[in-house]
Amino acid sequence: MLEKAWVRLCRADPAYEIGAWNFVHAVGATLGDTEMIVCPCTDCRSVDRHLGSEVVDHLVRRGMNEAYKCLSEWYHHGEGISLSAGERSFSEWNEEIVGLYRAASYSDDELAAQGDVGEIAEGLDTKEDEFLAKLADAETPLYPSCLNHSKLSAIVSLFRIKTQNGWSDKSFNDLLEELPNLLPENNVLHTSMYDVKKFLKSFDMGYEKIHACVNDCCLFKKGLEKLDNCPKCKASRWKVNLQTGVVKKGVPRKVLRYFPIIPRLKRMYRSERIAQDLRWHFSNKCSDGKLRHPVDFVT
């Protein structure tokens, strides 16, 4: 186990710098690489590697990333960590995002020289091909001579109108069944609500439904997933018939619709232009010590 008491000291305390040096030496000895160390500072966030002296300098000037500091085991620096199935899945997603983030800053030649990033990119080839095939299908014109709408834009426009006006699923389904008869032949519009949802979900544009307490006390997930009543206010999780008092188990009183962030990041990093924009705050810092933008401020 690495010594961690030093990270709770004031960075101005000489003991903090001594602790940082001991940390660098211990990591080098454990991993067999005494030169390039994964830097856990607030800016590098265990993505970039630097010489040990630079890592110490970053830790003293910027401090360690708070999320990593709070972990009981620093797995980027040789300590084993036992993850639950859910945590392991999140960690794998996170490593994939980190790989995409790093790949966005390299040219093709530099990327080929990065063995670990190359393996990540190679592992994503199949998924990327599938995504490009879906994208080509989505960009198909609504009908052969249509110039204003693609298959995807038409579906998104209709779905937006449904949401804004509170149409029921049945009314929207009826509209989808009738619209193809009003459009020119060879149109590619889906004819059912089920097909539309399936199509949108293929682009990770879906959402997760999480049951919530009607008084916003908690979310019924993880340890609370099987409860029928809120552990704080005791309100029923399920709808109740106001006339008969019968509980409609399985019909939640309140639902949170959660849009996962990781699939959104993956979609954004697929675009070279957007990937560069996402890295702007990291790659456009001033190196002359002058503050021209909040990103230039170093704690």
Res 170: pLDDT: 93
Residues 94 and 199 in one domain: yes
Residues 101 and 174 in one domain: yes
Domain residue limits at 32: 6-70
57 within some domain: yes
Model pLDDT for residues 226-242, shown as the tens digit of each residue: 999 999 999 999 998 88
Final residue of a structural domain among 174, 203, 232: 203
CA distance to 36, 64, 112, 257, 299, per residue, from 61 (Å): 19, 9, 33, 41, 7
Task: For residue 266, name the pLDDT band (cuts at 50, 70, 90).
Answer: confident
192 within some domain: yes
79 within some domain: no
The CA distance from 151 to 183, in Å, is 13
The rounded mean pLDDT for the chain is: 79
Model pLDDT for residues 81-101, shown as the tens digit of each residue: 444 444 444 455 455 555 555
Return all residues near 93 (Cβ < 8 A) that are at least 6 apart: 262
Take residue 10 and report the two structure tokens written for it.
Answer: 């004031």
284 within some domain: no
Model pLDDT for residues 166-223, shown as the tens digit of each residue: 999 999 999 999 999 999 988 999 999 898 888 887 776 677 899 999 999 999 998 8
Residues 164 and 96 in one domain: yes
The CA distance from 120 to 266, in Å, is 13
Residues 158 and 184 in one domain: yes
Q: Among 20-29, 107-116, 149-158, 220-229, whose mean pLDDT is lowest?
A: 107-116
Model pLDDT for residues 248-259, shown as the tens digit of each residue: 888 999 999 888
288 within some domain: no
The CA distance from 284 to 292, in Å, is 11
Return all residues near 282 (Cβ < 8 A) that are at least 6 apart: 43
Query: What is the tally of structural domains in the chain?
Result: 3
141 within some domain: yes
Where are the alpha helices (H) located in the chain, listed in sequence order?
14-31, 52-62, 66-69, 85-103, 108-113, 115-123, 125-138, 151-165, 169-182, 193-201, 261-269, 272-278, 280-283
Final residue of a structural domain among 222, 237, 258: 258
Residues 196 and 168 in one domain: yes
